[in-house]
């Protein structure tokens, strides 16, 4: 039975976050010039396996290497680097890092770089339809000619944003540039019908629409009974379509993340849709109105295609000229004489630096604005929507919303998010796996390290208990070594606290004084409901200061003196919270 031909464009889900490409590309670059196809006497792909081992040493790498075939993991992580023109394997099977890849490694104008690479990205490419070895997996050139990023940008611009479901159902199967407007119109019709329903009926309508559209997209395979997919074996029409739909939603999620790396996108006010940022709407309009996007016809020429894809100067953006760059630099406060005598590269670098400073000023303004009752209400409402998974990326928004709550509680000197924010101060990517999610610093007295997860059950214990403890312990040891005298609290928040996670924290709270961590750890596990309750109470107080919060944290930590098990400790935490509220309410 033949393999199903790809009927959609694709965004790599490994890594799912574009921010992980840079550190992994740095590791890959140490192997540049070596044969990607080299094998040892046992037939092992040695260069690929070396890359897999380098990935394991990368602090931002999460997950695991497929030990039965480490080279598979290497190829999996290499794929998006090749897709977006950062690296490729030449005709002699030698690994090459392109100029675009080298610019990414240097960290120069990363948003602009991603924008240019995304604007060039097309189907067909060498990787998707150009390589003779895999050409049979893709539609013919007559059936396929799309710039996926440009198509998504146009849809977002015309429709005031799109949801993951809309991207998955209507845009992923759009394989021709000239069909994008038709897909936009279908989304409009879909919305009109969808808005007639609410709750379960609404979700059923979305699912049924997805089924209908993908049954049409894969009609040839369904008629012939070709139920195999490249991902897994499916044996009937229902399982085949369900698998395709699940994969399409994963791809849509990854697309949201990668497309936001260009800086043009953010999330909508209701946190459900990808939208063009108001800060960059003019740039989006000019791209769509002033640039032409033709499919380059040398996609089947390996060297020529990657010379093009790997060139970070292509394409020229509409505003990428001396006159406009000088004008923008002056508007940002750069000295007129300095701007006028600078090169285009120098101008772009200065503009990037000033833009970062402008973002920092917006962040400082938000620290004040977060005290407003309107913002408090939005924080509480967002927690409820996160619990219902009614936001575009629940884990990402959970980190962000807990951080917002700490900012809103006020009286902290430095509420540092270790996750990244976009230009609109919406969350861009979760904190790296080697750091706490946030550091809430209260001058020289104490610091709260926030760690959050939506995982429950055994998975919570498996994925969170040891890393969270290590983050808190490492930070505490550093504070001790620096002699700051600051007390370190580890606050862990989840929908529910798994008993195994709670017991693991209790061991480090009372039973195991780890010298690597500088002793016992002040661990505090709270459910989302408990944290919301604390937040509501703090915001109801006429006069709140950091000592009020510290008192609560100390009450929960001091329970170790009167409890003998993790179960007893966890049972007494609600009592400690209530007693704290009673004291400070008076």
pLDDT one-digit tens code per residue, 295-306 = 999 999 999 999
pLDDT of residue 5: 82
pLDDT per position as a tens digit, 389-418? 999 999 999 999 999 999 999 888 899 999
> How much is the pLDDT for 229?
55
Burial of 561 from C-beta contacts in 10 A (0-12 / 13-18 / 19+): exposed
Strand partners, 236: none
Q: Which fold has domain 370-585?
A: Restriction Endonuclease (3.40.91)
Give the whole-angstrom CA distance, residue 188 versus residue 183. 9
Q: What is the mean pLDDT of residues 553-570?
A: 97
Predicted local confidence at residue 542, as pLDDT: 82
**Over residues 428-454, mean pLDDT:** 92
Q: Is residue 2 predicted with pLDDT exceeding 70?
A: no
Q: Which residue has the tokens 């575009």?
A: 392
Determine contact, residues 423/361, Cβ cutoff 8 Å. no
Q: What percent of the chain has pLDDT over 70?
A: 98
The position carrying tokens 């992580």 is: 77
pLDDT score of 63 more than 80: no
Q: 128 vs 95, 120, 122, 300, 502, CA distance in Å?
A: 19, 14, 9, 10, 48
Question: What does the pLDDT look like over 239-277, one tens digit per residue?
Answer: 999 999 999 999 999 999 999 999 999 999 999 999 999
What is the DSSP-derived secondary structure letter of residue 179?
G
- Work out the percent of the chain whose per-residue pLDDT is above 90: 89
| Stretch 72-98: mean pLDDT | 97
The pLDDT score that the predictor gives to residue 443 is 82
pLDDT, position 1: 45
Q: Where in the chain is the domain with CATH 3.40.91.50?
A: 370-585
Query: Half-sphere exposure of residue 142, counting CA atoms within 13 Å on the CB side?
Result: 0
Mean pLDDT of 447-456: 96
48-67 CB burial, b ≥16 within 10 A, e <16:
bbbbbebbeeeebbbeebee
């Amino acid at each position: 039975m033949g393999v199903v031909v790809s009927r959609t464009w694709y965004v790599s889900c490994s890594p799912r976050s574009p921010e992980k490409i840079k550190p992994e590309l740095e590791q890959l670059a140490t192997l540049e010039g070596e044969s990607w196809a080299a094998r040892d006497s046992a037939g092992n792909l040695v260069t690929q396996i070396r890359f897999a081992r380098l990935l394991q040493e990368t602090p931002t790498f999460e997950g695991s290497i497929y030990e039965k075939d480490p080279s598979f993991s290497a190829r999996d992580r290499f794929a998006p680097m090749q897709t977006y023109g950062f690296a490729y394997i030449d005709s002699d099977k030698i690994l090459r890092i392109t100029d675009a890849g080298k610019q990414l490694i240097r960290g120069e104008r990363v948003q602009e770089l991603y924008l240019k690479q995304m604007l060039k990205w097309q189907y067909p490419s060498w990787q998707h339809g150009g390589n003779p070895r895999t050409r049979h997996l893709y539609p013919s050139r007559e059936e396929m000619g799309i710039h996926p990023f440009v198509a998504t940008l146009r849809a977002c611009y015309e429709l005031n944003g799109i949801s993951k479901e809309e991207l998955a159902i209507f845009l992923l199967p759009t394989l021709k540039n000239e069909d994008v407007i038709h897909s936009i119109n279908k989304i409009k019709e879909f919305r009109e019908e969808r808005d007639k329903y609410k709750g379960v009926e609404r979700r059923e309508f979305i699912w049924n629409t997805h089924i209908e559209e993908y049954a049409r997209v894969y009609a040839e395979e369904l008629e012939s009974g070709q139920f195999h997919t490249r991902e897994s074996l499916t044996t009937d029409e229902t399982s085949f379509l369900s698998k395709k739909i699940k994969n399409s939603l994963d791809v849509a999620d990854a697309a949201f993340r990668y497309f936001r790396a260009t800086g043009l996108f953010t999330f909508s006010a209701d946190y459900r849709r990808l939208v063009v940022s108001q800060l960059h709407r003019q740039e989006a309009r000019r791209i769509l109105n002033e640039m032409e996007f033709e499919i380059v016809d040398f996609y089947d020429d390996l060297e020529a295609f990657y010379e093009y894809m790997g060139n970070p100067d292509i394409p020229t953006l509409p505003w990428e000229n001396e006159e406009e760059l000088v004008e923008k630099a002056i508007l940002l406060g750069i000295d007129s004489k300095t701007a006028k005598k600078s090169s285009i590269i120098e101008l772009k670098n200065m503009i990037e630096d000033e833009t970062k400073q402008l973002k920092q000023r917006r962040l400082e303004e938000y620290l004040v604005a977060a005290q407003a009752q309107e913002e408090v209400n939005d924080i509480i409402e967002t927690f409820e929507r996160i619990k219902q998974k009614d936001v575009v990326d629940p884990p990402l928004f959970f980190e962000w919303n807990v951080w917002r709550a700490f900012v809103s509680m006020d009286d902290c000197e430095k509420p540092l998010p270790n996750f990244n924010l976009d230009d609109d101060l919406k969350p861009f990517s979760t904190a790296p796996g080697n750091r706490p999610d946030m550091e809430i610093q209260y001058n020289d007295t104490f610091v709260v390290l926030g760690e959050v997860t939506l995982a429950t059950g055994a998975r919570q214990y498996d994925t969170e208990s040891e890393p969270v403890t290590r983050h808190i312990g490492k930070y505490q040891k550093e504070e001790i070594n620096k002699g700051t005298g600051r007390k370190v609290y580890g606050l862990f928040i989840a929908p529910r606290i798994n008993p195994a996670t709670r017991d693991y924290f209790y061991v480090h709270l009372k039973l195991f004084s780890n010298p690597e961590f500088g002793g016992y750890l002040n661990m505090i596990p709270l459910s989302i409901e408990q944290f919301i309750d604390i937040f509501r109470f703090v915001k109801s107080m006429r006069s709140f200061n950091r000592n009020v919060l510290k008192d609560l944290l100390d009450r929960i930590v001091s329970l170790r003196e009167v409890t003998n098990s993790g179960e007893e400790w966890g049972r007494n935490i609600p009592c400690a919270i209530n007693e704290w509220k009673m004291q400070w309410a008076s």
